[in-house]
Amino acid sequence: MSRRRTVVFVAVGAVVILAAASKFSGGGDGSVAVRLSTVDRHDLISSVIASGKITPQRQVDVSSDITGRIVSLEVEEGDFVEAGQLLLQIDPTQYEAAVSRNRAILASTTAGQVQAQANRDQAFRNMRRQQQLMESDSTLVTIEAIETAETNFAIAEANLSSTRHQVSQGEAAVDEALDQLAKTVIRAPMAGKITRLAVEAGEIALASTFSRETGLLMTISDLSTIQVDVDVDETDVVRLSIGDSAEIKIDAFPDSTFVAQVTKISQSARTAAAGTDQAVDYEVELTMTNPPAEIRPDLSATAKIITDARSQVLGIPIVSLTVREHKPISSELAPQDTTKKETEGVFVVEGGVALFHPVEIGIAGEDHFEILSGISEGDSIVAGPYQTVRDLSDSTSVRATGGGSTER
Protein backbone atom coordinates (compact mmCIF):
# COMPACT_ATOMS: atom_id res chain seq x y z
CA MET A 1 0.00 0.00 0.00
CA SER A 2 1.38 3.44 -0.91
CA ARG A 3 2.07 6.04 1.72
CA ARG A 4 -0.43 8.40 0.08
CA ARG A 5 -3.26 5.85 0.38
CA THR A 6 -2.33 5.21 4.02
CA VAL A 7 -2.54 8.94 4.77
CA VAL A 8 -5.97 9.12 3.10
CA PHE A 9 -7.33 6.24 5.23
CA VAL A 10 -5.97 7.79 8.41
CA ALA A 11 -7.53 11.13 7.53
CA VAL A 12 -10.93 9.57 6.78
CA GLY A 13 -10.81 7.61 10.09
CA ALA A 14 -10.03 10.77 12.00
CA VAL A 15 -13.01 12.56 10.40
CA VAL A 16 -15.37 9.71 11.36
CA ILE A 17 -14.11 9.68 14.97
CA LEU A 18 -14.44 13.44 15.28
CA ALA A 19 -17.95 13.36 13.80
CA ALA A 20 -19.03 10.68 16.26
CA ALA A 21 -17.54 12.58 19.16
CA SER A 22 -19.26 15.75 18.01
CA LYS A 23 -22.62 13.94 17.78
CA PHE A 24 -22.20 12.43 21.26
CA SER A 25 -21.26 15.71 22.92
CA GLY A 26 -23.72 17.81 20.96
CA GLY A 27 -21.15 20.22 19.60
CA GLY A 28 -17.61 21.35 19.67
CA ASP A 29 -18.30 23.57 22.69
CA GLY A 30 -19.40 20.58 24.81
CA SER A 31 -23.10 21.52 24.78
CA VAL A 32 -25.84 18.93 24.23
CA ALA A 33 -28.18 19.34 21.27
CA VAL A 34 -31.81 19.40 22.45
CA ARG A 35 -35.21 20.42 21.22
CA LEU A 36 -36.85 23.24 23.12
CA SER A 37 -40.47 23.99 23.86
CA THR A 38 -42.21 26.88 25.57
CA VAL A 39 -44.57 26.26 28.47
CA ASP A 40 -47.94 27.48 27.30
CA ARG A 41 -51.64 26.73 27.75
CA HIS A 42 -53.59 23.82 26.28
CA ASP A 43 -57.00 22.20 26.34
CA LEU A 44 -56.32 18.74 27.82
CA ILE A 45 -58.51 15.66 27.79
CA SER A 46 -57.62 12.65 29.93
CA SER A 47 -58.95 9.36 28.60
CA VAL A 48 -58.82 5.59 28.97
CA ILE A 49 -58.71 3.39 25.89
CA ALA A 50 -60.30 -0.05 26.12
CA SER A 51 -61.55 -2.64 23.66
CA GLY A 52 -64.52 -4.98 23.81
CA LYS A 53 -67.62 -5.97 21.90
CA ILE A 54 -71.17 -4.86 21.18
CA THR A 55 -73.91 -6.46 23.31
CA PRO A 56 -77.65 -5.76 23.54
CA GLN A 57 -78.82 -4.47 26.90
CA ARG A 58 -81.36 -7.30 26.94
CA GLN A 59 -80.92 -10.65 25.22
CA VAL A 60 -82.85 -13.87 25.72
CA ASP A 61 -81.82 -17.39 24.73
CA VAL A 62 -84.96 -19.29 23.76
CA SER A 63 -84.94 -23.00 24.58
CA SER A 64 -87.43 -25.83 24.97
CA ASP A 65 -88.67 -27.40 28.19
CA ILE A 66 -89.60 -30.59 26.36
CA THR A 67 -88.07 -32.88 23.75
CA GLY A 68 -89.69 -33.37 20.36
CA ARG A 69 -89.37 -32.90 16.63
CA ILE A 70 -89.83 -29.38 15.26
CA VAL A 71 -92.71 -29.60 12.77
CA SER A 72 -93.03 -25.88 12.05
CA LEU A 73 -90.50 -23.02 12.18
CA GLU A 74 -92.16 -19.65 11.73
CA VAL A 75 -89.17 -17.26 11.80
CA GLU A 76 -85.81 -16.74 10.15
CA GLU A 77 -82.59 -15.25 11.47
CA GLY A 78 -82.76 -11.47 11.25
CA ASP A 79 -86.55 -11.28 11.65
CA PHE A 80 -88.07 -8.85 14.11
CA VAL A 81 -90.68 -10.43 16.37
CA GLU A 82 -93.23 -9.14 18.86
CA ALA A 83 -93.76 -10.48 22.35
CA GLY A 84 -96.04 -13.52 22.18
CA GLN A 85 -95.47 -14.15 18.47
CA LEU A 86 -95.34 -17.82 17.40
CA LEU A 87 -91.77 -18.95 16.84
CA LEU A 88 -92.01 -22.70 16.30
CA GLN A 89 -94.18 -25.77 16.88
CA ILE A 90 -92.96 -29.06 18.33
CA ASP A 91 -94.81 -32.25 17.32
CA PRO A 92 -97.67 -32.45 19.87
CA THR A 93 -98.77 -36.05 19.13
CA GLN A 94 -97.26 -37.77 22.17
CA TYR A 95 -98.28 -34.92 24.45
CA GLU A 96 -101.88 -34.98 23.18
CA ALA A 97 -101.88 -38.73 23.85
CA ALA A 98 -100.61 -38.10 27.38
CA VAL A 99 -103.48 -35.69 27.98
CA SER A 100 -106.04 -38.25 26.76
CA ARG A 101 -104.48 -41.02 28.85
CA ASN A 102 -104.44 -38.97 32.03
CA ARG A 103 -107.98 -37.77 31.46
CA ALA A 104 -109.12 -41.41 31.16
CA ILE A 105 -107.31 -42.27 34.38
CA LEU A 106 -108.95 -39.30 36.06
CA ALA A 107 -112.39 -40.42 34.87
CA SER A 108 -111.76 -43.91 36.26
CA THR A 109 -110.60 -42.60 39.65
CA THR A 110 -113.56 -40.20 39.74
CA ALA A 111 -115.93 -43.13 39.23
CA GLY A 112 -114.09 -45.02 41.97
CA GLN A 113 -114.61 -42.05 44.25
CA VAL A 114 -118.35 -42.08 43.59
CA GLN A 115 -118.45 -45.81 44.42
CA ALA A 116 -116.36 -45.29 47.55
CA GLN A 117 -118.69 -42.50 48.61
CA ALA A 118 -121.70 -44.81 48.19
CA ASN A 119 -120.00 -47.59 50.19
CA ARG A 120 -119.12 -45.14 52.92
CA ASP A 121 -122.71 -43.86 53.12
CA GLN A 122 -124.06 -47.42 53.24
CA ALA A 123 -121.63 -48.38 56.00
CA PHE A 124 -122.58 -45.26 57.94
CA ARG A 125 -126.29 -46.04 57.74
CA ASN A 126 -125.74 -49.67 58.80
CA MET A 127 -123.67 -48.52 61.77
CA ARG A 128 -126.34 -46.03 62.83
CA ARG A 129 -129.06 -48.72 62.70
CA GLN A 130 -127.01 -51.04 64.87
CA GLN A 131 -126.36 -48.23 67.35
CA GLN A 132 -130.06 -47.27 67.49
CA LEU A 133 -131.13 -50.89 68.11
CA MET A 134 -128.63 -51.07 70.93
CA GLU A 135 -130.03 -47.89 72.39
CA SER A 136 -133.68 -49.10 72.19
CA ASP A 137 -133.13 -52.68 73.33
CA SER A 138 -129.73 -54.12 74.07
CA THR A 139 -131.02 -57.65 73.55
CA LEU A 140 -131.79 -56.99 69.85
CA VAL A 141 -128.13 -56.59 68.79
CA THR A 142 -124.82 -57.93 70.00
CA ILE A 143 -121.71 -56.00 70.84
CA GLU A 144 -119.89 -57.87 68.08
CA ALA A 145 -122.43 -56.60 65.51
CA ILE A 146 -121.90 -53.04 66.67
CA GLU A 147 -118.10 -53.40 66.43
CA THR A 148 -118.38 -54.95 62.96
CA ALA A 149 -120.57 -52.10 61.72
CA GLU A 150 -118.19 -49.49 63.11
CA THR A 151 -115.17 -51.26 61.55
CA ASN A 152 -116.89 -51.45 58.14
CA PHE A 153 -117.63 -47.74 58.34
CA ALA A 154 -114.02 -46.90 59.19
CA ILE A 155 -112.79 -49.00 56.23
CA ALA A 156 -115.30 -47.33 53.90
CA GLU A 157 -114.19 -43.89 55.19
CA ALA A 158 -110.53 -44.73 54.51
CA ASN A 159 -111.33 -46.01 51.02
CA LEU A 160 -113.19 -42.80 50.25
CA SER A 161 -110.23 -40.70 51.44
CA SER A 162 -107.88 -42.80 49.31
CA THR A 163 -110.00 -42.35 46.18
CA ARG A 164 -110.21 -38.62 46.80
CA HIS A 165 -106.38 -38.43 46.83
CA GLN A 166 -106.30 -40.52 43.65
CA VAL A 167 -108.66 -38.05 42.01
CA SER A 168 -106.41 -35.16 43.09
CA GLN A 169 -103.41 -36.99 41.62
CA GLY A 170 -105.32 -37.59 38.42
CA GLU A 171 -106.24 -33.91 38.16
CA ALA A 172 -102.59 -32.93 38.72
CA ALA A 173 -101.50 -35.43 36.04
CA VAL A 174 -103.96 -33.92 33.59
CA ASP A 175 -102.73 -30.39 34.40
CA GLU A 176 -99.12 -31.51 33.90
CA ALA A 177 -99.96 -33.17 30.59
CA LEU A 178 -101.78 -30.03 29.43
CA ASP A 179 -98.76 -27.94 30.46
CA GLN A 180 -96.43 -30.19 28.48
CA LEU A 181 -98.78 -29.95 25.50
CA ALA A 182 -98.82 -26.16 25.75
CA LYS A 183 -95.01 -26.15 25.67
CA THR A 184 -95.06 -27.64 22.19
CA VAL A 185 -95.93 -24.14 21.04
CA ILE A 186 -93.00 -21.73 21.63
CA ARG A 187 -93.68 -18.00 21.50
CA ALA A 188 -91.42 -14.97 21.74
CA PRO A 189 -90.80 -13.94 25.36
CA MET A 190 -90.09 -10.36 24.29
CA ALA A 191 -89.97 -8.11 21.26
CA GLY A 192 -86.67 -8.01 19.41
CA LYS A 193 -84.57 -9.34 16.56
CA ILE A 194 -83.67 -12.97 15.95
CA THR A 195 -79.89 -12.64 16.15
CA ARG A 196 -79.22 -16.36 16.22
CA LEU A 197 -81.23 -19.31 14.91
CA ALA A 198 -79.73 -22.62 15.96
CA VAL A 199 -82.32 -25.09 14.58
CA GLU A 200 -84.20 -26.00 11.43
CA ALA A 201 -87.63 -27.52 10.88
CA GLY A 202 -87.41 -31.29 11.21
CA GLU A 203 -84.67 -31.28 13.85
CA ILE A 204 -85.17 -32.58 17.36
CA ALA A 205 -85.55 -29.91 20.01
CA LEU A 206 -83.89 -31.06 23.21
CA ALA A 207 -85.03 -30.02 26.66
CA SER A 208 -82.76 -27.32 28.05
CA THR A 209 -82.14 -29.45 31.13
CA PHE A 210 -79.57 -31.44 29.10
CA SER A 211 -77.33 -28.40 28.57
CA ARG A 212 -77.77 -24.77 27.72
CA GLU A 213 -75.91 -25.04 24.43
CA THR A 214 -77.59 -28.18 23.10
CA GLY A 215 -81.01 -26.94 24.17
CA LEU A 216 -80.65 -23.52 22.51
CA LEU A 217 -83.21 -22.88 19.78
CA MET A 218 -82.63 -19.20 19.03
CA THR A 219 -81.56 -15.89 20.55
CA ILE A 220 -83.73 -12.77 20.61
CA SER A 221 -81.99 -9.43 21.16
CA ASP A 222 -83.52 -6.08 22.02
CA LEU A 223 -81.44 -3.75 19.86
CA SER A 224 -83.18 -0.57 20.98
CA THR A 225 -80.49 -0.09 23.65
CA ILE A 226 -76.94 -1.14 22.78
CA GLN A 227 -74.06 -1.63 25.19
CA VAL A 228 -70.33 -1.92 24.72
CA ASP A 229 -68.69 -4.26 27.21
CA VAL A 230 -64.98 -3.42 27.50
CA ASP A 231 -62.14 -4.69 29.70
CA VAL A 232 -60.28 -1.94 31.56
CA ASP A 233 -56.91 -2.50 33.23
CA GLU A 234 -56.77 -2.29 37.01
CA THR A 235 -54.51 0.76 36.83
CA ASP A 236 -57.11 2.70 34.82
CA VAL A 237 -60.43 1.53 36.27
CA VAL A 238 -60.01 3.67 39.39
CA ARG A 239 -60.15 6.75 37.16
CA LEU A 240 -63.58 5.89 35.81
CA SER A 241 -66.94 7.04 37.18
CA ILE A 242 -70.55 6.29 36.33
CA GLY A 243 -71.70 8.83 33.77
CA ASP A 244 -68.32 9.40 32.10
CA SER A 245 -68.75 10.05 28.40
CA ALA A 246 -67.05 7.94 25.75
CA GLU A 247 -66.39 7.83 22.04
CA ILE A 248 -66.98 4.46 20.40
CA LYS A 249 -65.27 3.23 17.27
CA ILE A 250 -66.77 0.06 15.78
CA ASP A 251 -64.60 -1.93 13.40
CA ALA A 252 -67.57 -2.55 11.11
CA PHE A 253 -68.20 1.21 10.80
CA PRO A 254 -64.66 2.62 10.42
CA ASP A 255 -65.79 6.06 9.25
CA SER A 256 -68.16 6.74 12.15
CA THR A 257 -67.80 7.63 15.81
CA PHE A 258 -70.58 6.98 18.29
CA VAL A 259 -71.37 8.40 21.71
CA ALA A 260 -71.79 6.39 24.91
CA GLN A 261 -71.81 6.74 28.68
CA VAL A 262 -70.39 4.57 31.44
CA THR A 263 -73.38 2.86 33.07
CA LYS A 264 -71.75 0.08 35.08
CA ILE A 265 -68.30 -0.64 36.52
CA SER A 266 -67.68 -4.16 37.75
CA GLN A 267 -66.71 -4.47 41.41
CA SER A 268 -64.76 -7.68 40.85
CA ALA A 269 -61.91 -8.36 38.47
CA ARG A 270 -61.54 -10.88 35.71
CA THR A 271 -58.07 -12.39 36.01
CA ALA A 272 -56.58 -14.16 33.01
CA ALA A 273 -53.18 -15.77 32.80
CA ALA A 274 -50.75 -13.87 30.60
CA GLY A 275 -47.48 -15.76 30.55
CA THR A 276 -46.06 -15.76 34.06
CA ASP A 277 -47.98 -12.62 35.03
CA GLN A 278 -51.66 -12.12 35.73
CA ALA A 279 -53.56 -9.58 33.64
CA VAL A 280 -56.24 -8.09 35.89
CA ASP A 281 -59.11 -6.43 34.04
CA TYR A 282 -62.45 -5.03 35.14
CA GLU A 283 -65.54 -5.20 32.93
CA VAL A 284 -67.03 -1.79 32.21
CA GLU A 285 -70.42 -1.35 30.58
CA LEU A 286 -71.02 1.58 28.22
CA THR A 287 -74.48 2.41 26.89
CA MET A 288 -74.61 3.88 23.40
CA THR A 289 -77.00 6.76 22.74
CA ASN A 290 -76.95 6.68 18.94
CA PRO A 291 -76.32 3.12 17.70
CA PRO A 292 -76.51 2.61 13.93
CA ALA A 293 -79.50 0.74 12.52
CA GLU A 294 -77.24 -2.01 11.17
CA ILE A 295 -75.68 -2.77 14.56
CA ARG A 296 -75.21 -6.43 15.50
CA PRO A 297 -74.17 -8.20 18.70
CA ASP A 298 -70.52 -9.26 19.12
CA LEU A 299 -69.08 -6.61 16.77
CA SER A 300 -65.62 -5.50 17.89
CA ALA A 301 -65.40 -1.98 19.31
CA THR A 302 -62.90 0.36 20.91
CA ALA A 303 -63.93 2.91 23.53
CA LYS A 304 -62.20 6.16 24.41
CA ILE A 305 -63.58 6.98 27.85
CA ILE A 306 -63.16 10.62 28.89
CA THR A 307 -62.15 10.71 32.55
CA ASP A 308 -61.32 14.40 32.91
CA ALA A 309 -60.91 17.62 30.92
CA ARG A 310 -59.09 20.90 31.48
CA SER A 311 -59.44 24.12 29.51
CA GLN A 312 -56.46 26.36 28.86
CA VAL A 313 -54.16 25.00 31.57
CA LEU A 314 -50.38 25.06 31.64
CA GLY A 315 -49.03 22.04 29.83
CA ILE A 316 -45.76 20.45 28.81
CA PRO A 317 -45.06 17.80 26.18
CA ILE A 318 -45.20 14.30 27.65
CA VAL A 319 -41.62 13.65 26.51
CA SER A 320 -40.39 16.56 28.66
CA LEU A 321 -41.31 14.96 31.97
CA THR A 322 -38.59 12.87 33.55
CA VAL A 323 -37.52 11.67 36.98
CA ARG A 324 -34.37 12.23 38.98
CA GLU A 325 -33.14 11.01 42.33
CA HIS A 326 -34.81 12.89 45.18
CA LYS A 327 -32.50 15.23 47.11
CA PRO A 328 -33.72 16.13 50.62
CA ILE A 329 -33.55 19.76 51.66
CA SER A 330 -30.54 20.46 53.93
CA SER A 331 -32.34 22.28 56.68
CA GLU A 332 -32.99 21.36 60.28
CA LEU A 333 -36.28 23.28 60.13
CA ALA A 334 -37.59 21.48 57.04
CA PRO A 335 -39.06 17.99 57.51
CA GLN A 336 -37.17 15.30 55.63
CA ASP A 337 -39.06 12.95 53.27
CA THR A 338 -37.01 9.77 53.47
CA THR A 339 -39.52 7.63 51.62
CA LYS A 340 -39.53 9.46 48.31
CA LYS A 341 -36.73 8.11 46.11
CA GLU A 342 -37.43 9.94 42.82
CA THR A 343 -38.79 13.34 41.85
CA GLU A 344 -40.72 14.19 38.70
CA GLY A 345 -39.59 17.30 36.90
CA VAL A 346 -38.49 19.02 33.71
CA PHE A 347 -35.33 20.73 32.54
CA VAL A 348 -35.79 24.50 32.26
CA VAL A 349 -33.24 26.18 30.01
CA GLU A 350 -31.81 29.43 31.38
CA GLY A 351 -28.85 31.09 29.68
CA GLY A 352 -28.05 27.96 27.71
CA VAL A 353 -28.01 25.75 30.81
CA ALA A 354 -30.60 23.02 31.56
CA LEU A 355 -31.69 23.16 35.19
CA PHE A 356 -33.86 20.42 36.70
CA HIS A 357 -37.08 21.78 38.23
CA PRO A 358 -39.38 19.47 40.23
CA VAL A 359 -43.00 19.85 39.12
CA GLU A 360 -46.44 18.74 40.25
CA ILE A 361 -48.50 17.33 37.41
CA GLY A 362 -52.26 17.03 37.00
CA ILE A 363 -54.07 15.09 34.29
CA ALA A 364 -52.40 13.53 31.26
CA GLY A 365 -53.72 14.38 27.81
CA GLU A 366 -52.78 12.65 24.57
CA ASP A 367 -49.64 14.76 24.06
CA HIS A 368 -49.26 16.94 27.16
CA PHE A 369 -49.20 16.80 30.96
CA GLU A 370 -51.00 19.43 33.00
CA ILE A 371 -48.63 21.40 35.24
CA LEU A 372 -49.93 22.43 38.64
CA SER A 373 -46.74 23.94 40.06
CA GLY A 374 -42.99 24.10 39.62
CA ILE A 375 -42.60 26.13 36.41
CA SER A 376 -44.27 29.15 34.84
CA GLU A 377 -45.88 30.04 31.57
CA GLY A 378 -43.31 31.09 28.99
CA ASP A 379 -40.45 29.03 30.47
CA SER A 380 -38.23 27.35 27.91
CA ILE A 381 -37.92 23.61 28.59
CA VAL A 382 -36.12 20.64 27.06
CA ALA A 383 -38.60 18.70 24.94
CA GLY A 384 -36.51 16.00 23.32
CA PRO A 385 -35.12 13.87 21.97
CA TYR A 386 -36.48 11.22 24.31
CA GLN A 387 -33.19 9.55 25.21
CA THR A 388 -31.47 12.89 25.68
CA VAL A 389 -34.08 13.98 28.23
CA ARG A 390 -33.61 10.70 30.08
CA ASP A 391 -29.79 11.02 30.18
CA LEU A 392 -29.50 14.78 30.71
CA SER A 393 -27.77 15.93 33.90
CA ASP A 394 -28.61 19.02 35.93
CA SER A 395 -26.73 22.22 34.96
CA THR A 396 -25.67 20.82 31.57
CA SER A 397 -24.99 23.27 28.74
CA VAL A 398 -27.46 22.78 25.91
CA ARG A 399 -28.11 24.23 22.51
CA ALA A 400 -31.33 24.26 20.50
CA THR A 401 -31.77 22.01 17.49
CA GLY A 402 -34.63 21.71 15.00
CA GLY A 403 -37.57 19.26 15.05
CA GLY A 404 -40.87 18.85 16.84
CA SER A 405 -41.02 18.93 20.60
CA THR A 406 -43.15 15.86 21.21
CA GLU A 407 -41.14 13.15 19.52
CA ARG A 408 -40.63 10.11 21.74
What is the share, in percent, of the chain residues with pLDDT greater than 90? 62
With respect to residue 276, please indicate whether it lies within any of the assigned structural domains: yes
Number of independent structural domains in the chain? 3
- Is 343 inside a domain boundary? yes
Is 102 among the domain residues?
A: yes
Q: Which of 182, 203, 237 is the last residue of a domain?
A: 182
Report whether pLDDT(140) > 90.
no
User: How many CB atoms lie under 10 A from the CB of residue 109?
Assistant: 21
Confidence of residue 337 (pLDDT cuts 50, 70, 90): low
Percent of the chain past pLDDT 70, that is, above it, reads 85
Closest CA to 297 of 350, 372, 219: 219
pLDDT digits (tens, 9 = 90+) for 280-299: 899 999 999 888 888 889 99
Q: Please indicate, yes or no, if residue 369 is contained in any of the structural domains.
A: yes
pLDDT at position 77 is 93
Instruction: Read off the CATH number of the domain in which 290 is found.
Output: 2.40.30.170
Please, are residues 381 and 349 in contact by the beta-carbon 8 Å criterion? Answer: yes
pLDDT for residue 408: 37
> Comparing C-alpha atoms, which of 243, 314, 320, 231 is closest to residue 268?
231
Q: What global pTM score does this model have?
A: 0.62
Do 321 and 297 have their domain in common?
no
Residue 363 — pLDDT band, cuts 50, 70, 90? confident
Q: How far apart are CA 135 and CA 141, in angstroms?
A: 10
Query: Does residue 272 have a pLDDT over 80?
Result: no
Between the alpha carbon of residue 160 and those of residues 115, 172, 284, the distances in Å are 8, 19, 64
Q: Which amino acid is at 392?
A: L
Please give the mean pLDDT across all residues of the chain: 85
Asked if residue 153 is part of any domain, the answer here is: yes
Both 174 and 227 in one domain: the answer is no
Please, how many CA atoms are within 13 Å of residue 307, restricted to the half-sphere of its CB?
Answer: 18
**Position 296 in a domain:** yes
Task: Please give the radius of gyration of the chain, using alpha carbons only, rounded to the nearest integer.
Answer: 44
Residue where a domain stops, chosen among 182, 207, 231:
182
Q: Are both 271 and 328 inside the same structural domain?
A: no
Would residue 109 count as lying in a domain? yes
205, part of any domain:
no
Domain that holds residue 160: 94-182
